[in-house]
Every structure is written in structure tokens, then in C-alpha cells.
Structure 1
Amino acid sequence: MFLLGTIVDVLAILIGTAIGYFLPRIPDRMRETVTVGVALCVIAIGLNMALSDMNDIVLIIFSVVLGAVAGELLQIEKRFEHLAHQLELRFRRIYKGPVAQGFISATLLFCVGSMSIVGAVQDGLQGDHKTLFAKSVLDGFSSVVLTSTLGPGVGLAAILVLVYQGLIALISHAFGSFLDTPLIIEPITAAGGLLIVAIGLQLAGLRRISVANLLPAIVIAPVVKVVIHSISQI
């Protein structure tokens, strides 16, 4: 079953959210310290990913800049926030606290990382679930911590994780191994790492960054690298 890895990941997020929601009330000072600790870990993960492809640093810079322009023109952040607030209104009867922030932060954290893409590709191509099983452990623990600080909106991110990873797995299953190459994975990993660093900075409360408006960089980076590679082969 080539969607098993994604299904397990979604269940891990939902279970982690439930655990985080029903944990005893965490004192504000402890919650702030834990949030900063999680933010530092997120930044470390992002830096590790971003620095993994230093040979393409100029390409990554170009892709991030072009992605930011495209994201601003498309108003991705604004549309994303609108979706999040619509979900918040629908869940108002169940939960009175903020939902949007948890949903946005968790969705970006769970979907931007290379494990999400690489794992889904492996899931679709070979029925290999190991990467997504490992990701599900990380996402489950992250869900517990994020929910305890940002609320149950974190659990709603499972919907987009299911759609996002599921689509990648389905496309990989249908069209073969095109996605599972260094030309695709390396620039996605590096560009995605920078976005994860931005998420960490936001979680730490250091700066408000429109991370969603940077998302086109993840698509632009591998496209540019493939084009450059194709031209160099002529």
C-alpha cells in the first residue's frame, strides 16, 4: 500500500495533537521556554538542510528571491491566513481559543521539509515507508509540543499533510522515478531548509516572516536546476 507512510504520518500528528491538548496546563513561563527550545531545534534542522547544497547557493538565492516576488504577487500568505481563519470560525463551537496560528505554523513545518517530499516519492515509487515512518515520529512529538503552546489548530495541519504527501505519492506512483533524483531533491532540500529556519525564527518570536509567500522557491529551485543542467548537456 503506497499511501501507508502518509496515513501513519497523519495519525501521528492527530495523536500528538490530542496528547498536547489534554496535557495539564503548562505555566506561561515554562511554555515560553519550551517554545523557544523547539524553535531552536527547528532552526537547527533548517540550517542543516539549507547547508546541504552549498554548491547551488547562487541558484538557491535566486530561487528564494524570485519565489518571494511570486508569492507576494499571488498573495499566498493572505490566502493561507484566510483559509486558517475560516477553519477557526468553523471550529469556534468546539474550541474558543486561537486555531489559525497553530494550523499555519504546523502546516508549514510538516510540509516544507525534504522528508515530506522524499518520503512521499519513495512511498509512491517503491512502497518504501521508512522515511515517512521516521517523519511521523518527529511530527508526532512536534505536534505534542506545538499543541501545548499554539492550541489544537495544529491537528488541522493533518488535512493538508494528507493531501500534499498523498498527491506526491500518487504522482510518483503514476509517472515513475523523475522526482527521485539529486537534481530535484537537493535544491528542494536547501530551499525548504531556509523556509524552516524562517519558521523557527517566528516560533522564537524574533521576527514576523511571511513564510507562505516564500513557498514558490521550493518549486522554482528544482526547475531552474533542471533547466541549467539540460542547457549544460547541449
Structure 2
Amino acid sequence: MFGTWFNAGMIVLGCLIGGRFKKGLDPGSQEILMQAMGLAASLLGISAVVQHLPESRYPVLFIVSLAAGGLLGEKMNLERRFETAITRYFKSGLGEGLATAILLFCIGSLSILGPIEAALNGNYSYLLTNGMLDGITSIVLASTFGTGIAVSALILVGWQGAIYMLAKFAAGALNPDMLNEITIVGGILIFSSGLSILGIRKFKSMNLLPALLGPPVFWALLHTLEWLGM
């Protein structure tokens, strides 16, 4: 878990630095940073999809996952619950920044593969690299949305910790194809978050988060059918 704690620590450090920048920024500078963050998030999302979609064995799976996950998230009203919880403790407007931060920090190839490599091979290079990248990203996010972005570090610890423990106890169940599909769905969610920041179209990114469960559920059903001999 050393790599995960380093990753989270870099996010907190970046938020502290970015928070100091925010105090001296005029509205015009904050707006241009928002645009820069929106463009960066959009490009990262596109890059993830373009890189991993050609390797997909089930190219329709991400569509089904988004549709089913979106309906589930809308039914649970995750977006409203998330915003209510955030505004209870932080100023309004932070919800969008936190949603973006959680997606950028948690739903990337390095953040998913890093804990697996650490658990199975004792290799922390992915997580250390991811920590440096997230530290820089958190500076920009905090300078735009405020130091409350540091809350995403707690989410990151829970996310990577869960993946780490899963890799430890169920090494044989981790399928590279499944991880590839999760990354595709994650890339689309990051892209939607970027478009929301740019003001091109407001997406309910939090309501779409259950789509990430689509690939694991699909693989579970697939293995169950194979076990039953069907």
C-alpha cells in the first residue's frame, strides 16, 4: 500500500499548493484554468478510449454498461446525493470539481493497474508515476475549485486499496480483458466530465459511475455460464 499512500499524499500536497495559487487569481485567470482543465480532461478521456477500444474483445459492452449503469445511477440519484453531501461541508461549485478529480485520479490505467502490480509483483513504479501525475493535476484542480479537492485523496485510498486487496485474494479472477473494458468506460466518463467543465454539455457524470460495474458483472456471468457448461 506504500504506492497508494504516496499517490494520495501527492494529491494533498498538490491541493495545498493549488489552494495558495487560487487566492491570488482574478476571475479571468480562474476561467482560463477551468477551460484548461476541461480540455485536459476531455483529451485524457479520448486518449483512454482510443488506446483501449481496439483491444476490446466485446466492443458493444461499453455501450451496454453505460446504458445500464446510467439508468441505475439515475434511479439511485447519485448526482444529487453527491452534491448534497458536498455542499453540506464545502461551498457550492466544488461538486463538479470533485467529480472530475475522482474520475481523473481513480479511473485511469495507472490507478487500476498500479495496485494490481503492487499486490502481485511488488512493483510500485506505476503508482509512483501516477502519484507524480496526480500531484500536478491536483494543483490545477485546486487552483480552480479550491483545496476541498483534497477529499478525492480519501476516495483514491479506498479505490486503490480495494483493488489491491482484490488482487491479493483473487489473483486468478483478474482478467486483463476486463480491466481493458473498465478503462474504456472510465475514459468515456472522464471525457463527459471534461465537456461539463467546458460548458459544452452538462453530463450527470456521477450518475454514470455504476457503468464501471458493467464489465465485472459481465465477466462474472460469463464465468458462471462456463462453470455450468453452457
Shorter-chain-normalised TM-score: which range? 0.7 to 0.9
- Give distance in 1, aligned partners of 2:79 and 2:119: 29
TM-superposed deviation, 1:124: 2.0
Secondary structure of the residue aligned to 1:49 is helix
TM-superposed deviation, 1:106: 1.5
**CA deviations over 1:59-95 (Å, ceiling 9, x no partner):** 111111111111111222222223222332xxxxxxx
TM-superposed deviation, 1:225: 4.8
Q: Contact conserved, 1:98 with 1:153, CA < 8 A, in 2?
A: no
Higher alpha-carbon deviation: 198-207 or 218-227:
218-227
Matched, 1:128 2:150: no
Gaps of 5+ in 1: 89-95
Query: What is the match of residue 93 of structure 1?
Result: none
Relative distance call for 1:97 and 1:74 in structure 2 (3 A) is closer
TM-score, with structure 2 as normaliser: 0.87
TM-superposed deviation, 1:183: 2.3
Higher alpha-carbon deviation: 208-217 or 35-44:
35-44
Describe how 1:103-118 pairs up with structure 2 within 5 A: 103-118=98-113
Higher alpha-carbon deviation: 209-218 or 25-34:
25-34
Match of 1:78 among 80, 83, 94: 80
Q: Contact conserved, 1:77 with 1:210, CA < 8 A, in 2?
A: yes
TM-score, with structure 1 as normaliser: 0.86
State the one-letter code of the partner of 2:8.
Answer: V
Q: Contact conserved, 1:21 with 1:151, CA < 8 A, in 2?
A: yes
- Give distance in 2, aligned partners of 1:97 and 1:208: 16
State the one-letter code of the partner of 2:85.
Answer: L
**CA deviations over 1:141-184 (Å, ceiling 9, x no partner):** 111001111111111111111111112112212222422x3222
Relative distance call for 1:48 and 1:98 in structure 2 (3 A) is closer
Relative distance call for 1:98 and 1:211 in structure 2 (3 A) is closer
What RMSD over aligned residues (CA atoms) do the two structures have, in Å? Answer: 2.2
Describe how 1:52-67 pairs up with structure 2 within 5 A: 52-54=52-54, 55=56, 56-67=58-69
Secondary structure of the residue aligned to 1:215 is helix
Indicate the percent of aligned positions where both proteins have the same amino acid: 31
Gaps of 5+ in 2: none
Matched, 1:32 2:31: yes
